Chains A and B, each alone.
Chain A
Amino acid sequence: MITAEGISKTYKTTPALDGFDLDVPKGTVCGLLGPNGAGKTTAVKILATLTRHDRGRATVNGYDVRTQTRHVKASIGLLGQHAALDEVLSARQNLVMFGKLFHLGSSAAQKRADELLIRFDLADAGTKDVSKFSGGMRRRLDLAASLIRNPPVLFLDEPTTGLDPRGRNEVWQAIRALARDGTTVLLTTQYLEEADELADSIVLIDGGRVVAEGTPAQLKARLGADRLEVTVRRAEDLARAKEILDASEVDEPARRLRAPAGQGLAALVQVAQVFQASGIQVEDIGLRRPTLDEVFLSLTGGDNR
């Protein structure tokens, strides 16, 4: 549904993308993950026809983004980094204006605006100035505006940056609902948690090229084996617990230890038994897969920065 082959783009002398590849199958959510300046926004802008690339080929909904821009524009919804709304107008006026510019016709645009306001839980705020909206409401209205024509493909550029946890949850729910309805979504984010929550597949980019891709589980598996994580109840037990576990990491304030898990579940059972026998009280014990954060840092070389 969204493809890119060897896309390169240089701004003046700064390379933003350098042989970028992507393939997002229909009806899936792809998370484009990377540090600041990795080229995420450039990739979205090229795919959404806002920026022309220097080399390579990209298609959206089967249309070439360079030569069939009109068809691409008719197939996509775009949510940029900032909520692209008229702050003076009301929520409804914004949706009606964008609806007319999508050539719905005046009465159809009004009808569609009302539908979207209800769907995004904004019906009560429909006549309020957008400038009085909270961050989450603004983002939901922004999302509504990009869905006026039910586009089969949706681009979301850092959709929850700058939102509080509640606003973020609201936006996440809206994105999940869209994915359920079969919209193909390309989402950029700096939050690993976000990609983990929403994406079927993750593409990690750094320095303008793809450094890793796969499902969240595959990426975590790439970092290696599971680990054992134990939190002891009493601080004085930390030293003994460290010895038993042969722990590689100790977080003293949190009374937490981490160690390689070896044979996984068997190791967990064995350690639990040893702790019980030696009278160390355990608050929490479990097998942990590496977090996406760790994958991210190890693959983008972030730990050296």
Chain B
Amino acid sequence: MKWAIADGWTVTQRDLAHWARQPFSVIVNLAFPVMVLLMFAYLFGGSMVVPGGGDYREFLLPGMYGLAMAFGVEATFTAVSTDVTKGVTDRFRSMPMAPSAVVVGRSAADMLNSAAGLVVLVAAGLAMGWRWHDGFARAMAAIGLLLLLRFALLWLGVYLGLLLRRPEAVMALQILVWPIGFLSNVFVSPETMPTWLGTLAQWNPLSATVSAARELFGNPGWGGESWIAQHSLLMAVVWPVLLVAVFFPLSVRRYQKMSD
């Protein structure tokens, strides 16, 4: 147990060392979501109407926070599949270290990474006039839900990384993550979409987290009438737990299957 923590920390430190050695790519990774935010706030924002009224930027920012968490799956995928292809995973497996450390270290590093990204986005939001209105505690609960979604998607990233084992496949993943990210309530109300598409968007786990965050921050939401729209707080917990329940065991099995 002592080694599980110590080894996990060593693997996390390895990722933190990456930041120090690649400051440029860190800046790009932190700046990219801010750029998307600026695009939607100022390029398209003028023609956006918030359902039920309100400032579009107030509506947009919780969505952007959620989207940044969803994009994190790409970083996890790339890191996991690169280690498998380079043989680093096999070297770890041939060493007398705690087997859990590879994954514990990876998740800690990714969570730190995403938390840093969220801090930058929140700072950008505050600079643009976005505010939380219902107190610090509820705002922190919203941040907690956002990080919970990131944690759930981490396991999707680990599983896909172990399954596909090719870092180049991140291109394919991006092609999937973007439409799935946009097929949500991040930028517009699902009620503006064709009914079937709107329903899909409402049931997107990202939508649940974003709705819940809007509610907790006291920002304008889209306030749909459907069951899923009425229970976003519940679903913002249920979806991530469900994702972890599916992809955590799948990842463990994949990892063990490397010995077959």
Contact = CB atoms under 8 A, between A and B. Distances in A.
B94 A49 contact: yes
Interface stretch (B14-22, B108-116, B136-144, B145-153): B14-22
A52 B97 contact: no
B74 to A, nearest CB: 17
Interface of A: 11, 48-52, 70, 73-74, 76, 78, 80-90, 93, 97-98, 100-103, 129, 145-146
A52 B259 contact: yes
A48 B93 CA distance: 9
Contacts of A90: 21
Interface residues of B, number: 27
Contact of B88 (A48, A49, A86): A86
B23 to A, nearest CB: 12
A50 B259 contact: yes
Interface string B84-104: 011110111111110001000
B3 interface: yes
Contact of B96 (A11, A84, A93, A103): A103
A265 to B, nearest CB: 50
Contact of B259 (A51, A70, A84, A103): A51
Interface of B: 3, 6-7, 10-11, 13-14, 17-18, 21-22, 85-88, 90-97, 101, 258-260
Given A86-B88, A97-B14, A102 B94 contact: no
B90 A84 contact: yes
Contacts of B6: 100, 103
The 9 nearest A-B residue pairs measured at CB: A84-B87, A84-B91, A73-B96, A78-B94, A80-B87, A82-B87, A101-B97, A74-B96, A100-B10
B95 A101 contact: yes
A292 to B, nearest CB: 28
Contacts of B259: 50-52
25 contacts: A48-B94, A49-B94, A50-B90, A52-B260, A73-B94, A73-B96, A74-B96, A78-B90, A78-B91, A80-B91, A81-B87, A84-B88, A84-B90, A86-B14, A86-B88, A89-B14, A89-B18, A93-B17, A97-B10, A98-B91, A100-B10, A101-B101, A102-B95, A102-B97, A103-B96
A145 B18 contact: no
A145 B94 contact: no
Q: Which of B21, B86, B94 has the most chain A CB atoms closer than 10 A to its own CB?
A: B94
A88 B21 contact: yes
Contacts of A73: 94-96
A51 B258 CA distance: 7
A148 to B, nearest CB: 9
B11 to A, nearest CB: 8
Contacts of A84: 86-88, 90-91
